[in-house]
Structure 1
């Protein structure tokens, strides 16, 4: 195969194809100083990492440990670190973390704080060894104290994605039935009597009173970041209110840790889930949406790099590499070895993505909507080669649209869908939604396709190439693009005709995209910028 030039010379706007696979190491990135590259490109895309509270204790308590951590950051283009003050019923020593903070700053890195709200006090009746009962008054006081402590050290604090509750204890049940949240002696009414209602109000008010206000009482300059998990279809069930909390917090962060689909413990998430949730929350948060966050758990170097790519393709302005301690063991070192080889290219792709607007098939997912037996089905559409544009508002002007059972959250959905169908634009419905809409909208219209979920979204990974093509073809027609590829090859399309194709298969594939025929190596991507 004729080698392709991966990186254009300085000052030359190259519009050709770039091709990359995990096994390829280009000469340019090998010679690049990643620390200088990270500093130069951080405004386009920032790489940062997090030291858990236990990492701070174990790795940053000595000058030698801090020096080693700084060198690791420099070798990974990491220009910012989050130092955690609390996790799992452990709070770091103030002197230790203050010394580490000051040393990182002196070395030229930005430093922020972090808190993970696990084992804060009274255990939940649900995930007992991690999650707390936040109705409990003593637990609330512990929470407030943790944020006051952190705010005394940092001007920015991220709250990790354990900021939820699944408790159904007698105290929680009584408060739910009374439709009342109590925080520090103050009572707040709850709109309804469901667990969703109660938990949403509880965690929303705690965010305002004992996270944001408590931190700012200590440090008026402090900014608060909420990191959302990847399980977006269940946010509202456990207290995440992405509309209110996104409005209340200064920034939001997104869990893009998809890992290996077939991993026995961590699997079940296709790689395209990372860009889907990144784009969906990005649409809600707008300028408040900062970065994505992925880890080494349940990954190989292939899937770790795919997490990085999909986070950037999702429009993230930063990538948080969780976490320093974990990346020193298991698959972490190999993951980082490969990531470092490709950071220069990832930065160039990030710059191109930032200049453009994605286009494609709108995937409607209203806030706080229940997926029923179609949980996270939007994650899988990208694996069929459909360029997906997730949205939280009805996509009236989209060239084509995909709808699932979550759309039923919208009280005007049936009427809006009838209008959309009447325009003749392509519509894809899940089989579950089609069944529910029968008699309300013309579900047999010729411009409607059906996605055969059959109550098991993961089974979509087993569709044949022909089945995937039959679903994809009509949806792409209004975009004016022809894309021929096997199943498990993703496409990102931009309004100017630029594109990215990524092969998630373990063997080479041949694709046809916008009149070009290309062969992609296993687990590689290709792109053209117009």
Structure 2
């Protein structure tokens, strides 16, 4: 296990200065710097404790040599303030000048946080004059020294002091915090920064827990447009180890979402080294950030990138397989190069970035199933990421996809007061609209029954069998040879037989329940996807059931896959695609693509079509079938030849 940090340890690490790395006996006389990346910029964030230590030239030279020998980086963010600790003007200028000598671009950073208690993060109390003054002081310090300043992702609001309670009044905490943080952004961050340095670009980094932002004052609507740019936290870490339980696909999906919030203004993605069981999980976060076409990747933070210690690989049963992140082979190459120190976190980052850079230039612009999450919305938390982790390429946006041929609308779409009218308009122009059971339930009293009389009964049922059956007649079992890993709890939705058709039914005993439900409306088709009460139970479904979901949702995509859960698909507008496995074993994958051949990139190897797969859920006359295998924790990249 590597860097297995609980909440308390993680908060303590952020709130304190990082320990000095082991000092080498002698600094190397020359540095071999890995080559520059062709398709993105790489940056390293330097927390204030390390920034202050780097003001000592000997420390800088030693640590820079270690970091630069392991990975290429174009830029550093030098933090001026975190948790009541200020760097001095002299320290900031010295560190800035040292990096300038090396040809490294510099920007500033500030973390507007106030420590915390018991491992829980603490924020400023913006009703307290002393905290407001400290916030402005930190901003002015950073803006004096840098023309670009990024806010690390603690610029939210958790305080419920008596002053906060009085100021909130009859508003909800969400309303109070959103309005307060808009004012704080304007009055204590943007205005002071631009007053000190009219050239400064102030960038707000938004973290990864976007479903809950509005409740703590983060505003992806007005605030995201007020700043000079935004940045994206793409760290997903381990999907079951940490308290957030973020799914692997989010490292890709969140870049797409924030990019649609601020087109051209989303500066990049940010990944840390915390809370992963194995080193491959760290590499996957970097890859997926860049598969989403982030223009820059920021590595948090300087300490692991520059320390002398070896990177701890963790438990890797696949260590001897030829995976995309072949750490054993890279360590052998590293030792053969004559390196005096072992390969550390910096080399793990450098190796992962070099691997993905070799294929990124072949990929066009990402495409996916148009999905709508309005500003300040929540519901079916992070469901898009679970769907992405079962192989649906998702393009998430805060704007309703008016022109999309196929769209996916989850419970979050209920935040739009006009959503039923928008669905109706889309159906009338011939679109395929997929709604989730959560959205159907939310819209019962808002006119949804005018589209289809689908009514949640309030009952829940355990399903352990799945049957596909389009129209009248016998159905086809979807788990004839492979059942679910466990019975799965679903909501029961009532519908009228022959008015709507259950494309897939879940069976419990001798009773069927709709899991994919269809209704024709005007020129369009309306589907409902019944979502398990626990969305993680999507992973427990048999592959044939997952294939039915993909068939409905991906009908307009140039490529789709058949695979077990934890295999993702990223598609692009130039007929290229990436298939990535987060699984710990070699996995067979069937690809259905609108072409006659696949060319693997960057090797140019031709992959020929196979005979049609018997019983395939996604096979179609205009698609060819291709059989692939994916090594553990690996990706493969292809171009479709039509």
Q: What TM-score, normalized by structure 2, do the two folds share?
A: 0.69
Q: Can you give the 5+ residue segments of structure 1 that lack an aligned partner in the other structure? A: 1-32, 179-192
Matching of residue 56 in structure 1 with residue 35 in structure 2:
no
Larger displacement relative to structure 2 (470-479 or 432-441): 432-441
CA distance in 2, matches of 1:511, 1:472: 14
- The 5 A counterparts of 1:500-511 are 500-511=578-589
Partner residue in 2 for 1:280: 257
The match for 1:297 is 274
1:433 to 434, 439, 445: 439
Determine which of 404, 407, 412 is the counterpart of 1:406.
412
1:418 shift after superposition: 2.3
CA distance in 2, matches of 1:345, 1:526: 11
- CA-based RMSD of the aligned residues comes to 2.3
Q: Matched residues in 1 for 2:128 and 2:577: separation?
A: 51
Cα distance between partner residues in 1 of 2:263 and 2:123: 29
Residues 143-196 of structure 1: per-residue CA shift (max 9 Å, x gap): 111111111211111001100102222211221227xxxxxxxxxxxxxx2222
Tell me the equivalent position of 1:368: 376
With over 3 angstroms needed to count, the CA separation of the structure-2 counterparts of 1:284 and 1:482, relative to structure 1, is: closer
Contact 2:293 2:366 in 1 (8 A): no
Which residue number corresponds to residue 63 of structure 2? 69
Q: Give runs of aligned pairs for residues 74-113 of structure 1, distance below 5 A.
A: 75-113=70-108
Q: 1:128 to 1:75 in 2, by over 3 A?
A: closer
Please name the residue that 2:167 is paired with: 175
User: Are 1:209 and 2:187 an aligned pair?
Assistant: yes
Q: Among 487, 490, 496, which residue is 2:568 paired with?
A: 490
Are 1:136 and 2:128 matched, yes or no? yes
8 Å Cα contact 2:126-2:132 kept in structure 1: yes
Match of 1:148 among 134, 140, 153: 140
CA drift of 1:362 comes to: 1.1
Structure 1 residue 340 corresponds to structure 2 residue 350: yes
Instruction: Map 1:370-409; keep pairs closer than 5 Å.
Output: 370-371=378-379, 374-409=380-415
| Mapped contact 1:45–1:351 kept (Cα < 8 A) | no
CA distance in 2, matches of 1:115, 1:310: 26
Pair 1:436–1:91, CA change in 2 (3 A)? same
Shift of 1:440: 4.4
Q: 1 or 2, which has the higher helix percentage?
A: 1
Asked if the contact 1:135/1:202 (under 8 Å) is kept, the reply is no
Q: What displacement does 1:363 show? A: 1.5
* Local SS of the residue matching 1:162: coil
Post-superposition shift, 1:422?
4.6
Where 1:362 maps in the other structure, the secondary structure is strand
- Contact 1:260–1:266 (CA under 8 A) maintained in structure 2: no
Please state how far the C-alpha of 1:339 moved relative to its aligned partner: 3.1
Work out the CA distance in 1 between the residues paired with 2:275 and 2:533. 26
Q: Does 1:312 align with 2:390?
A: no
Secondary structure, in 3 states, of the residue corresponding to 1:274?
A: helix
Asked whether the equivalents of residues 253 and 289 of structure 1 are also in contact (C-alpha less than 8 Å), the reply is yes
Residue correspondence of structure 1 range 27-66 to structure 2 within 5 A: 35-38=34-37, 41=38, 44-58=39-53, 60-66=54-60
Q: Is the 8 A contact 2:292 2:366 kept in 1?
A: no
Query: Comparing both chains, which one has the higher relative contact order based on Cα–Cα distances under 8 Å and sequence gaps of 6 or more?
Result: 1
**Alpha-carbon contact 1:502-1:524 (below 8 Å) kept:** yes
Task: Find the counterpart in structure 2 of residue 469 from structure 1.
Answer: 547
Match of 2:637 in 1: 527
- Equivalents in 2 of 1:89, 1:273: separation in Å? 32
Structure 2 residue runs of 5 or longer lacking an equivalent are 1-31, 314-342, 455-499, 501-517, 520-524, 594-623
Matched length: 471
Is the 8 Å Cα contact of residues 366 and 573 (structure 2) preserved in structure 1?
yes
Judge conservation of contact 1:292–1:311 (CA < 8 Å) in 2: yes
Query: How far apart in 1 are the matches of 2:583 and 2:61?
Result: 40
Give the SS at the match of 1:429.
strand
Contact 1:483-1:511 within 8 A present in 2 as well: yes
Alpha-carbon distance change, 234 to 477 in structure 1, aligned in 2, over 3 angstroms: same
Q: Report SS of the residue matched to 2:262.
A: helix
Show CA shifts across 1:451-498 (max 9, x none): 443443333333332221121112222224342222211111122321
**2:202 corresponds to:** 224
> 1 or 2, which has the higher strand percentage?
2
Residues 127, 166 of structure 1: 8 Å contact kept = no
Does the 8 A contact of 2:113 with 2:122 survive in 1? yes
Deviation at 1:343, TM superposition (A): 2.4
Q: Distance in 1 between matches of 2:411 and 2:381?
A: 9
Measure, in 2, the Cα distance between the counterparts of 1:114 and 1:485: 42
For structure 1, which segment, 99-108 or 447-456, has the greater mean C-alpha deviation from structure 2 after superposition?
447-456
1:119–1:132 CA contact under 8 A, matched in 2: yes
Is contact 2:247-2:389 (8 Å) kept? yes
Contact 2:383 2:535 in 1 (8 A): yes
Aligned partners of 1:295, 1:149: CA distance in 2, in Å? 25
Separation in 1, partners of 2:359, 2:539: 27
Q: 1:24-49: CA deviations, max 9, x gaps?
A: xxxxxxxxx754324xx3xx311111
Structure 1 window deviating more from structure 2 (314-323 vs 508-517): it is: 508-517
Cα displacement string for residues 383-438 of structure 1 (whole angstroms, at most 9, x for unaligned residues): 11111111111112223221111101111101111233455544332222123334
Shift of 1:523: 0.8
Partner of 1:349: 359
